[in-house]
Amino acid sequence: MQPLRQQPVPSIGSVYFNLQPYYLTISENLQHHYSFDPVGRFLSGFLDGINYRRGLDGSILAKHRTTHSGKSRRRLSEPETQTLIDDVHGRVANIAPYLTAPEQADLLPYVQAILAWDYARLHAERSTFHAIYKPISILPPDQYRAVVLQAAEGCSWNKCTFCSLYRDRRFRIKSATSFRQHIQHIKQLLGPSIGLRQSLFLGDANALVIPQPRLLELLQVVHEEFALGPAQPNDAPCMKGVYSFLDIFGAERKTLSDYRELAAYGLKRIYIGLESGDDDLFALLNKPGSPQECVQAVQTIKQAGIAVGIILLAGAGGDRYAEQHVANSVAHIHTMGLDANDIIYISALVVSGSDEYSQLLHAQGGHALADAQVQQQLATFKTLLRAPAGPRPKVSLYHIEEFIY
């Protein structure tokens, strides 16, 4: 870890440089910050009270506080993206001429690399991303910094009434050959910035439905392409494990010995959208399987030594289901035998009102909860899920509008 360095710049004041193995952060008077990956691509910034995060897909998420508890999150339009990148580059160009002291010599090439990644070049790289990846629709929050490997594309079910994340593509499993090519292209795209990422996420929506022999073949490719295991003493990039989504229907298809094989291949945690433990609401959501089957699948997965991430949908079922949604979801989760390795995510439902789910709810006489009621339900879930004594899973929020890859 290198110490923070300071450089006076007349038009600014003090400029600080935090140079780390896989990023550089520049800070103006410790008020405005902007960070870049090791090849010089803009990563993130905090400017005029707004947080910006740039995804590998080139889009930029802007986030800021609106009230003491509210947050605004949105993707920048293309003209806004250009304005932001031009602004950041103008700031770096203003600082560059002052990096003349010998002790700043290592910063100059970094800064020159940053200036070479202007808006036009960053924009052009988006087509490379889209040639390699289908859109990365969502990841669990603890995996936002994973390297996504699309072993499969899309969702094998794709019929949940509230979920439109994968409606733009057909489900497809890659062959070992095309998966290896996909991985090699990803490595080229990431370059040395792969060191910012510490895990591998098998995409897309439910890669673990891939039949076991094919899945093992694909995992073998992963092991041939990446070093997996604990961090290396020389800081060489090393992935701490493999992670993936699974829907409940798919979970039913694998046995304890299948999961043990997957654990031996480095599968560390499986994320499952239970959404609700209430049978009636579960049917309205048209999730595959049932809450009871989810409990059984989780118990099997945990027995194999793999952790789980269970996702619940706050606000699902509106006023009509609110009470039974909370009570039955908490009851099912309490029978899963979760421990401190597991995570429960609560995702606030985001729907347009004209989607299939909203229409079905409306036809049953239900109404969407107001934002304040959803927040109340989130708080109730948190309290009840943290209740039992003993090794408890982490309970955390999941906001699909906050995701960027």
Q: Is 400 in the site for ligand SAM (CB under 6 A)?
A: yes
- The count of chain residues that interact with ligand SAM, using the rule CB under 6 A, is 20
Q: Is 300 in the site for ligand SF4 (CB under 6 A)?
A: no
Beta-ladder partners of 152: 173
Of the candidate residues 225, 247, 252, 278, the single one contacting ligand SF4 (CB under 6 A): 247
Q: Is 349 in the site for ligand SF4 (CB under 6 A)?
A: no
311 binds, among ligand SAM, ligand SF4, none (CB under 5 to 8 A by kind): ligand SAM
Nearer residue to ligand SF4 within complex by CB, 104 or 158: 158
Beta-ladder partners of 397: 346
Rounded distance between C-alpha atoms, residue 98 and residue 30, angstroms: 18
Q: Is 165 in the site for ligand SF4 (CB under 6 A)?
A: yes
Nearer residue to ligand SF4 within complex by CB, 285 or 326: 285
Q: Is 147 in the site for ligand SAM (CB under 6 A)?
A: no
Of the candidate residues 44, 158, 212, 396, the single one contacting ligand SF4 (CB under 6 A): 158
Nearer residue to ligand SF4 within complex by CB, 82 or 158: 158
Rounded distance between C-alpha atoms, residue 382 and residue 400, angstroms: 18
Q: Tokens 């410790």 sit at which residue?
A: 30
Q: CA 307, 311, 313 angle in degrees (round to 5)?
A: 170
344 binds, among ligand SF4, ligand SAM, none (CB under 5 to 8 A by kind): none
The bridge status of strand 60-65 relative to strand 71-75 is: antiparallel
Residues 184 and 132: beta-carbon distance below 8 Å: no
Minimum separation from the CB atom of position 204 to ligand SF4 (A): 8
Q: Specify the stretch interacting with ligand SF4 by CB under 6 A; choose among 34-42, 84-92, 152-160, 289-297.
A: 152-160
Q: Structure tokens of 161?
A: 């009434």
Q: Is 398 in the site for ligand SF4 (CB under 6 A)?
A: no
28 binds, among ligand SAM, ligand SF4, none (CB under 5 to 8 A by kind): none
DSSP codes of every residue in 130-149: HHH--------GGGTTSEEE
Q: Structure tokens of 74?
A: 């949105």
Site for ligand SF4 in 38-97 (CB under 6 A): none
Q: Is 272 in the site for ligand SAM (CB under 6 A)?
A: yes
Q: 311, 313, 309: which is closest to 285 by C-alpha? A: 313
Of the candidate residues 166, 282, 321, 381, the single one contacting ligand SF4 (CB under 6 A): 166
Rounded distance between C-alpha atoms, residue 141 and residue 400, angstroms: 9
Q: Is 313 in the site for ligand SAM (CB under 6 A)?
A: yes
Rounded distance between C-alpha atoms, residue 296 and residue 290, angstroms: 10
Per-residue binder mask for ligand SAM (CB under 6 A), 50-79, x = binder: ------------------------------
Site for ligand SF4 in 201-230 (CB under 6 A): 205
DSSP codes of every residue in 50-62: EEEEE-TTS-EEE
The amino acid that residue 32 corresponds to is H
Q: 357, 358, 105, 142: which is closest to 240 by C-alpha? A: 142
Q: Specify the stretch interacting with ligand SAM by CB under 6 A; choose among 39-47, 100-108, 177-185, 267-275.
A: 267-275
DSSP codes of every residue in 265-318: TTEEEEEEEEE-S-HHHHHHHT-SS-HHHHHHHHHHHHHTT-EEEEEEEETTTH
Rounded distance between C-alpha atoms, residue 28 and residue 93, angstroms: 13
Rounded distance between C-alpha atoms, residue 107 and residue 109, angstroms: 6
Of the candidate residues 162, 179, 226, 243, the single one contacting ligand SAM (CB under 6 A): 162
Which residues of the chain form contacts with ligand SAM (CB under 6 A)?
138, 155, 162-163, 165, 205-206, 245, 247, 271-273, 275, 311, 313, 347, 349-351, 400
